[in-house]
Structure 1
């Protein structure tokens, strides 16, 4: 590979931690676009590895309120360990009401929504969770050609900023430095490690309940 695309990590860093540089770099780009200010309120939609890394980055950016919405109880509990101030189960409550409703966690909506699930429901929810003048960043990847419904007048009337965040331009070095510094919790995101021979089976099957990240570690 070109030397310009290689990033030196400290000799003592666990290789399993180094493997998180690429997903973290993607999350960093999304958080950069979001422009989170100290004291801001943030909602993260989706509790996979991208969502859980984004929760940590939002907290590091100075957000006072960080809410994660995800169905799995184990991921909600992990998010609270990693700095989320609250979590919501969208299969048990209406996330719009629970978060942005009159009696919700942040009545009227939040400053920033980071959509990290890449499914139609959360993309549609994202614009309804942002407050007037708020920012929505789509980090999750939906299949090309798939569509969602939203109300353009609502985006116009409430002056929402809706941004797409694609991969990780110019953030990989910072991600590597963050991982090396220990500022991002990595070990709690590793659900299990498998040898190379098991990789095809793991990739071709859905994640087990509660699994966040499965790492393939070649033998030898």
Structure 2
């Protein structure tokens, strides 16, 4: 089968590899769709820890074609979405229920072979069944939505909250929708790209801000800003130093800041601890998706989340290395790899 392989840092290619054999507790899944994530680009450049050589791709869904001998509750023919993050269940963090902080955490598409391939092995406990009537490309959004859902849970958004979201990529746009579902009445998204600002307003943002047009902090939290004095919750979704620095200045006194975007490992950002102390801000990191994948899958399956407008284009496995090796195109939200296609026309 074809697979997109990270051979080493900076070295990615399509190779022919053997179809994996499922163990007793595994599912062999024919991949229908797998999303390209910013993390894949970090992996290529050595900015996020991984264990190459490895097949990339952690946002996938597909059809079960073979179930291991110990699997009784999912049969071939079922469609599943995979939670790629495999915790050990034994370490102190797992025993405390903090499975996303597992000392032995391993991820499909990062530490073991993932979904940029014709087939992927998924442990049964990581698989969540979704309807066969669902558009299969929608299933590839369950993993990023689950990460956003964990961040929104941590943020404490409730009915009437004011929220600022920094970054107009797929994470920011999904978070806009979740914030509105959680009850936020004001949701402001900041991004430079006009197409993404328009899309944010179409999927639920009450206002958008162009950071290239002036000071974002003044525009949102200044005396004559959209929410004078700052918002209840700031969620950083861009994964860049500039927006992380903005985040604490956008929160009101007593507010909450959630860092959801992924910055390259080792990058530093200046903050003012006195400001955090004096205004008693809660500054939280949100890492992956503990115990929320099922909820995310249900949100996708019920149509509660707008997906189709998030899809920028569909590509083949052969095209994936070039897309991963280059920055996202202007206005691009989510690129999906469709392994069954030799070449998929851009949409």
- My pick for the range that moved more, 100-109 or 192-201, is 192-201
- SS of 2:271's partner is coil
The residue number in structure 2 matching 1:117 is 238
C-alpha displacement at 1:209, in angstroms? Answer: 1.1
Map 1:18-29 → 2, pairs under 5 A: 18-29=139-150
- SS of 2:336's partner is strand
The residue number in structure 2 matching 1:6 is 127
Higher relative contact order (CA 8 A, sep 6+): 1
C-alpha displacement at 1:143, in angstroms? Answer: 1.3
Cα distance in 1 for residues equivalent to 2:326 and 2:308: 23
Gapped regions of structure 2 (runs ≥ 5): 1-121, 342-347
1:192 is aligned to 2:294: no
Cα distance in 2 for residues equivalent to 1:195 and 1:158: 50
- SS of 1:91's partner is helix
Gapped regions of structure 1 (runs ≥ 5): none
C-alpha displacement at 1:145, in angstroms? Answer: 1.5
- SS of 2:263's partner is coil
C-alpha displacement at 1:144, in angstroms? Answer: 1.6
1:208 to 329, 341, 345: 329
The residue number in structure 1 matching 2:208 is 87
C-alpha displacement at 1:219, in angstroms? Answer: 2.3
Instruction: Report the count of equivalent residues.
Output: 220
Cα distance in 1 for residues equivalent to 2:186 and 2:205: 7
RMSD between superposed Cα atoms in Å:
0.7
The residue number in structure 1 matching 2:281 is 160
Listed one character per residue, the Cα deviations across residues 107-151 of structure 1 (whole Å, up to 9, x for unaligned) are 000000000011111001000000000000000011121111111
Q: What TM-score do the two structures reach when normalised by structure 2?
A: 0.63
Listed one character per residue, the Cα deviations across residues 80-120 of structure 1 (whole Å, up to 9, x for unaligned) are 00000000000111000000000000000000000001111
Which protein shows a greater Rg?
Answer: 2
C-alpha displacement at 1:74, in angstroms? Answer: 0.1
- SS of 1:196's partner is coil
The residue number in structure 1 matching 2:258 is 137
C-alpha displacement at 1:44, in angstroms? Answer: 0.3
Select the structure that is richer in strand. 2
Q: What TM-score do the two structures reach when normalised by structure 1?
A: 0.99
Select the structure that is richer in helix. 1
- SS of 1:137's partner is strand
C-alpha displacement at 1:2, in angstroms? Answer: 1.9
1:47 is aligned to 2:152: no
